[in-house]
Amino acid sequence: MHIDRDTDPIRLFQAWLTEAEGTEPNDPNAMTLATVGADGMPSARMVLLKGLDERGFSFYTNLGSRKAGELAAHPRAALCFHWKSLRRQVRVEGGVERVGDEEADAYFATRARISQLGAWASKQSQPLTGRFELEARVAKYTARFHLGAVPRPAHWSGYRVLPEVIEFWEDRPFRLHMRFRFRRTATGWTAEELYP
């Protein structure tokens, strides 16, 4: 897809992600999520993109996790996708909102049963005394939900990063890389090409 100042960055991202799905050996939807703690220290980790539309980029987590606590205090984040096989990178920056309960329920229903049980069992980001403690909690919730659907726990939901800035980078010979930065405005997107 040709990139210029009239390109829709969401459609461009979708096109690049589709290409990555055909070339990346693992998790083409993996992205670095960067948040900031109360002390101003940045924190980054890999998560999986689980939804994308005109509103933004969605992922899911335990609401007791470190990332959820940081997002509650500072609802802004940055994402970085790196597709080594394509020699491309996309950076996203923006505010963050919680997804609605219906959206979280719908996604949770698509997860493998053991992943659903794991969402109940995990006290994400809390100290663990040993592996047996986690396995015992999985067994507890396996017994509790032995028949029928596993409901989404109240402590598990999703977030959507609302893109204000999306930057595309593509490797080019002699380090003369392509970079385009798109900024959301009240009426759409503006774009500028950047020096590599």
- Any idea which residues carry the catalytic annotation? 175
Could you tell me where the DSSP H helices lie in the chain?
9-23, 66-73, 101-110, 113-121, 131-144
Nearest to 61 by CA among 14, 118, 112, 114: 118
> What six digits make up the tokens of 27?
């998790």
C-alpha 2/C-alpha 15 separation (Å) is 11
Q: Are strands 30-36 and 76-83 parallel, antiparallel or unpaired?
A: antiparallel
> What six digits make up the tokens of 156?
């598990």
Output phi, psi for 61, to 5 deg: -165, 170
How many CB atoms sit inside 10 A of residue 8's CB?
A: 15
How many CB atoms sit inside 10 A of residue 118's CB?
A: 18
Nearest to 152 by CA among 189, 174, 119: 119
